[in-house]
Structure 1
Amino acid sequence: MLQFHQVHKAYATPQGPLPVLRGIDLRLAPGESLALMGESGSGKSTLLHLAAGLDLPDSGEVCLAGRSLSALTEPARAHLRRDTLGLVFQQFHLVPSLNVGDNLRLQARLAGRDDPAWSSELLERLGLAGLERRYPEQLSGGQQQRLAIGRALAPRPALLLADEPTGNLDEETADEVLTLLLALVRDTGSALLVVTHSPRVAAPLDRCLRLSHGRVDDAAITGAT
């Protein structure tokens, strides 16, 4: 589903190029879950942006669903994102002018895969049934994050990318949201890549990979606990 092969990425600074990723190799199979851990500045967010085709590597290859992202035009990458990916961010990025029901179905409608029955099931399982006419500002933080997860999963994406998906929540709410996220991912068959600094979030996933100074720390690749 997702493959990195000897991926390098640097950013320009007044002092010269700043290497962020240094020869990353990574494979994520369909239906597999992977936690990506590392300190701030280790390259986690850069890797996630490359996986989504929001940026391109300086060298090496990133393949999504068997297609090399560097070989595609930006419109083609956007089309592939729409058809293949679900994205969940630490900041919820809900549309304030849309109610809960419309926010949930937005991504599915854009992808041409709106399924009212699945949307209703998501609302029920997310604990949002009966709140369809409310707006994001009328929801708690945990409810907003659950809605963001539902929006990402409504099109049944082949791959879900999540950037610190529980980072803004208290521990109890974070545990509830993570349990729900993993259950829904299993039911949809999506592969899952989670960027997190929390061992608590990483523990239930199939594998954990740690980035350090832009490289994979092989000693820190573990199975699920």
Structure 2
Amino acid sequence: MLQLTDVAKSYPTPQGPLFVLDGIDLHLAPGESLALMGESGSGKSTLLHLAAGLDVPDRGEIHFHERALSALDEPARADLRRRHLGLVFQQFHLVPSLAVIDNLTLQARLADREDPDWTDHLLERLGLTGLEQRYPEQLSGGQQQRLAIGRALAPRPDLLLADEPTGNLDEAAADRVLALLHELIHESRCALLMVTHSARVAAPLDRCLRLHYGRLEPGEP
């Protein structure tokens, strides 16, 4: 489903280019879950942004469903994200002026994939039934993160990209959100690429890789 081949990414500095990623090879099969670990600043989020087509590499190629992202212009990459990718970040990025139900269905509507039965199922599984007309500021942090996960899964994406999705939650709330995330991933049959610094968070996933000095290494949670 997702294939990165010899991917490199650098940023300019007064001393010359600083390579955050250099020679990255990665593959992810349909339905597989992969944890991407590494120290702060190791390039984990950069790799996730490249996989989502939010940024472009200096070198190498990224294929999604055998389509080269380099061959797509920005509108085409945005369409791919709407239809095939779900994105969950540490910051919830909910729309404050939209009620829970409208935040939940936002991505599905943009992708023309709204399914009322799946929406009702998500509301129940997320523990948000009865809160449909509340606004994000009226929810707890755990409820907001569950809503962000539901929004990403509402269009039934092929791949969910998650960047430290429970980093703003306490351990108990994080454990509840992660357990629910894995259950919903299984129910929707989508693949998962999750960036985390936590071995405990990475442990339930199928595989784990570590970023070290811009390169990927096999890792254990």
TM-score by length of 1: 0.97
User: Which stretch has the larger CA shift, 13-22 or 134-143?
Assistant: 13-22
Other-structure match for 1:206: 206
Stretches of structure 1 that go unaligned for 5 or more consecutive residues are none
- Tell me how far 1:13 sits from its aligned partner: 1.5
Specify the alignment match of 2:61 in structure 1: 61
Residues 178-217 of structure 1: pairs in structure 2 closer than 5 A? 178-217=178-217
Runs of at least 5 residues in structure 2 that lack an aligned partner in the other structure = none
Shift of residue 103 of structure 1? 0.4
- % identical aligned pairs: 75
Moved more, 119-128 or 8-17: 8-17
Tell me, in whole angstroms, the C-alpha distance in 2 between the residues paired with 1:100 and 1:2: 31
Displacement of 1:168 after TM fit? 0.5
**1:145 maps onto 2:145 in alignment:** yes
Quick one: which amino acid aligns to residue 174 of structure 2?
A
The residue aligned with 1:22 is 22
CA distance in 1, matches of 2:101, 2:79: 24
Give the structure 1 partner of residue 133 of structure 2: 133
CA distance in 1, matches of 2:66, 2:178: 28
Normalised by the size of structure 2, how large is the TM-score?
0.98
SS in 2 for 1:16: coil
Measure how far apart 1:12 and its partner are: 1.1
Q: CA offset at residue 64 of structure 1?
A: 1.2
* Matched letter for residue 144 of structure 2: Q
Q: How many aligned residue pairs are there?
A: 221
User: Partners of 1:66 and 1:6 in 2: how far apart?
Assistant: 16
Matches within 5 A, 1:35-184: 35-184=35-184
| TM-aligned CA deviation for residue 71 of structure 1 | 1.2
Match for 2:30: what amino acid? P
**Segments ≥4 residues shifted beyond 4 Å:** none
Query: 1:78 Cα shift?
Result: 0.8
Letter in 1 for 2:51: A
1:30, 1:212 → 2: CA distance?
26
Q: Secondary structure at the match of 1:37?
A: strand
How far residue 16 of structure 1 moved from its aligned partner, in angstroms, is 1.1
What letter corresponds to residue 5 of structure 1 in structure 2?
Answer: T
Deviations 1:125-184, CA, capped at 9 Å, x for gaps: 000000000000000000000000000000000000000001000101100000000000
C-alpha RMSD of the superposition: 0.9
Amino acid aligned to 1:156: R
3-state DSSP class of the match of 1:81?
helix
